[in-house]
Amino acid sequence: MGLPVRDQMKYWGVAAAVFMAVLWYLGDVILPFVLGAAIAYFLDPVADRLERMGTSRGVATTIITCVALLIFIIAALLIVPTLVSQTASLINIAPQLFQDLQGFLTSRFPALVDTDSTLHQSLVSLGETIRDQGGKVLNSVVSSAASVINILLLLVIVPVVAFYLLYDWDHMVARIDEMLPRDHAPVIRQLAGEIDATLASFIRGMGTVSLILGTFYAVSLMLVGLQFGLVIGAVAGLVTFIPYVGALVGGALAIGLGLFQFWGDWMTIGLIAGIFVAGQVAEGNFLTPKLVGSSVGLHPVWLIFALSVFGSLFGFVGMLVAVPLAAALGVLVRFFIGQYQGSRLYRGLSGRDEG
């Protein structure tokens, strides 16, 4: 005889509380393991495909690891230094950009930006704040010995964790399946399959879309000649998983910088705007339908809410687990809604009579 529902809810509640407590107390300590698990989950289909082609799991994992390390080395040598340099330059030049904006507004709307006006003071203050705070963040990341050590630990631990998890992924899934409560195993497998399908469509699909669009934006903006094009492309690609936000944020940054750099060259400014229009058209009509699909079930507002809540509660680790937890909660909510709509609480006596 299975446990009463009240006892089951108590045990599952305790498990959820323990999980939240682990996130709260360990925080950044578990960051390498969360990243390693995410990488292993992302690459597991590739390993499975290599296995179907005749290789062993160990050989498949080794091939994937070697290719990933090669890509990482190329990125570290060619992309990361430029990205860091452009980010630092953008932070340092921000006050000058706001001074240029102030000069533009002064020439066009002199009555609005006299030296004692609120708008003038706000622009000056905003530029100084971005320079000071951005410089502090960059200096703390680059020059802090603790940060450097943490980064080095990430670079060492994450690949090792990802390698072992990827190698043992199928075995771990089988072991977890053996530990499921027998009475609830079929339902848990069904829900886990739906959660996996949602995550596979969203994380793997949107991760690929973000990488493609980020690369497209960065390369296109650099070819046009826009300063800081690599940074803007990286930012736009990073937030592409929230529909329209990537194009809006990246487009606003690129066009804003383009107006300062190419003022009067309306053809170039039009090309910058056209890059983001083309990216949005490609995303909406080709990339997202093909790589993500239409049945993911993760509403943008729900994603933003989950990122905000988990990020504020658990920091960067919370933001990493926000999307998987949002997907899992979405599947569970739809399941319980289905259960509710099939119950007498929803259908009442009329539903019983119709049956």
Q: Is the pLDDT of residue 269 over 70?
A: yes
d(CA 188, CA 182): 10
Of the candidate ranges 49-53, 170-174, 335-339, the one whose mean pLDDT is the lowest: 335-339
Distance (Å, rounded) from C-alpha 302 to C-alpha 331? 13
pLDDT in the model for residue 118: 62
* Residue among 216, 248, 203, 211 nearest 40 (CA): 203
| Spatial separation of the C-alpha atoms in residues 355 and 350, rounded to whole Å | 9
Instruction: Give the model confidence (pLDDT) of 297-331 as tens digits.
Output: 567 777 778 878 887 777 767 777 787 788 788 88
Name the DSSP class of 294. Answer: S
In this structure, what DSSP letter does residue 287 have?
I
Q: What is the mean pLDDT of residues 49-67?
A: 90
Q: How far apart are CA 104 and CA 112, in angstroms?
A: 11
User: Distance between alpha carbon 40 and the CA centroid of its chain, in Å?
Assistant: 16
pTM above 0.75, yes or no: no
Say if residues 127 and 98 touch (Cβ distance below 8 Å): yes
pLDDT value at 143 more than 50:
no
CA angle 302, 43, 32 (to 5 degrees): 70
Lowest mean pLDDT among 148-152, 236-240, 285-289: 148-152
Residue 112 near residue 73, CB atoms below 8 Å: no
Looking from the CA of 286 toward its CB, the CA atoms found within 13 Å total: 7
How does residue 63 score in pLDDT terms, banded at 50, 70 and 90? very high
**Percent of the residues in the chain that have a pLDDT greater than 90, as a whole number:** 2
Which one has a higher pLDDT value, 320 or 55?
Answer: 55
Q: Note the helical H segments in the chain.
A: 5-26, 31-52, 57-78, 80-108, 118-143, 145-167, 169-178, 185-199, 205-224, 229-238, 245-261, 266-282, 288-291, 300-341, 344-354
- Give the model confidence (pLDDT) of 272-282 as tens digits: 888 888 888 88
pLDDT digits (tens, 9 = 90+) for 100-136: 666 665 665 565 555 566 655 665 665 566 555 555 5
Q: Within 13 Å of residue 233, how many CA atoms lie on the same side as its CB? A: 27
Is residue 146 scored above 50 in pLDDT? no
Considering the chain, what percentage of its residues have pLDDT values greater than 70? 70
